[in-house]
Amino acid sequence: MSAKKVLVAFCHELGCNVTIDDARRAYFALEQKDRKRFRFSCSDRHCNVTMSGVNYHVKAEDGDKFKAAHFRSPHPHTPGCEWNQFTSDIEQDIQPGETKDDFIERKARQKLRDDINYFDASLDNDTSTGMTSPRPVSTPVTKTESDESNKKKENTRWSKYTKTTVLQRLIDFWQEAKNTLSHKEFMNLRIYIKNRGSVYLNKYITHINNGLTNKYEGVIYGGGHLVRRYGRGFLFSYFDKHEEKEVYLYVDKEIMASGNGMSNYLHEILETENVRYFRVFLLNPSWSRRINKKGGHVINLHIKKVQQLVIFYELNSSKVHESTANEKDGDNPA
């Protein structure tokens, strides 16, 4: 048994355990001239094997070009490593008390780089996943306990890694699931939303065509183009109309500046040249009607925090962009 999926690794430069999404945010928070690939090792301090981070240092493209950022293990982890345990737990056969649907969903999740089963949309926290605490130590599960108690313990054990408050991580997970899983597997994927319960992921993240609000106070998304920048702020126009009215998103530069590393990342995406379209995801935005200068009725979407915003882009050229052409899966840190 070897670790196939590692959700968290120790970052030497940052001095703490991070998800790959944390690493991306920290990387993009640096001035461009100071950016250097991070060094990672296993988050289990008894293992400590050298790892590499993949795709976290490039801007994620939309659609087929999307490549999930992830950790890669070029070397085997020690047998008792928590990620070997994790892999063995997620790859188990159907368990007593597990429904067939649960089992099928667990099998589908194995195909993905990340594994998220809990999303906290309150945005009360900052953008961190709470991984900055000292490195966790593995606690072996004793075999004398009942299956039920073991199951609960495992859920608690991995939940610190499979739980997130970060919208970008959730949308990356959705994007990869959409690209990788069969339609049926994708439609059956569920997520537990804090204070709301279990929801199908495809019902929590819905296209703007289906309405300006998501019934779970979840995410709406759609493609469109950038109208203009206002410093770090921007005005965006969606391709899709709502009740025949044009739909805009205006994000103030103050809001953009509030998001630590995330705002740099989003800013650089918006600065990308030769973009065919942007796809913009918003967590539970509010909206209002307004009359524009030409006397037409339009709709404005509003967000209060940059943490409610995720943007992907697609380039005009059908060729692979230079910055990603040089990218090899799992290249070593510079």
Q: Looking at 81, 166, 177, 310, which residue binds Zn ion (CB under 5 A)?
A: 81
Of 44, 61, 62, 314, the one binding Zn ion (CB under 5 A) is: 44
Question: 13, 130, 19, 137: which is closest to 71 by C-alpha?
Answer: 19
Minimum Å gap between C-beta 166 and Zn ion is 23
Q: Shortest approach of Zn ion to residue 10 CB, angstroms?
A: 10
- In the sheet with 190-193, reading across from the earlier edge strand, the strands are 163-164, 118-119, 190-193, 197-200
**Least spacing, CB of residue 114 vs Zn ion, in Å:** 17
The residue among 83 and 161 lying less far from Zn ion, judged by its C-beta, is 83
- Minimum distance, C-beta of residue 77 to Zn ion, in the bound complex (Å): 3
Nearest residue to 1 via CA among 51, 76, 98: 76
Of 47 and 301, the one with the shorter C-beta distance to Zn ion is 47
For Zn ion, the closer of residues 11 and 81 by Cβ is 81
> Is residue 47 a contact residue for Zn ion (CB under 5 A)?
yes
Question: What is the identity of the amino acid at 49?
Answer: V
Closer residue to Zn ion, CB minimum distance, 76 or 231: 76
Spatial separation of the C-alpha atoms in residues 223 and 221, rounded to whole Å:
7
- Among 5, 67, 77, 109, indicate the residue that binds Zn ion (CB under 5 A): 77
Q: Which residue number, 87 or 308, has a Cβ lying nearer to Zn ion?
A: 87
Structure tokens given for 311: 């943007």
Q: Does 310 bind Zn ion (CB under 5 A)?
A: no
Tell me 32's DSSP state. Answer: G
Binding of Zn ion at residue 51 (CB under 5 A)?
no
Among 42, 191, 249, 299, binds Zn ion (CB under 5 A): 42
Segment near Zn ion (CB under 5 A); pick from 23-31, 39-47, 121-129, 239-247: 39-47
Q: Among 158, 29, 30, which residue's Cα sits nearest to residue 88?
A: 158
* Smallest distance, Zn ion to C-beta of residue 78, A: 6
Task: Using CB atoms within 10 Å of the CB of residue 288, give its burial: 0 to 12 exposed, 13 to 18 middle, 19+ buried.
Answer: exposed
Between 80 and 231, CB nearer to Zn ion: 80
Q: Which residues contact 222 (CB under 8 A, 6 or more apart)?
A: 207, 208, 209, 238, 239, 240, 247, 279, 280
Structural tokens at position 32? 């461009």
Contacting positions for Zn ion (CB under 5 A): 42, 44, 47, 77, 81, 83
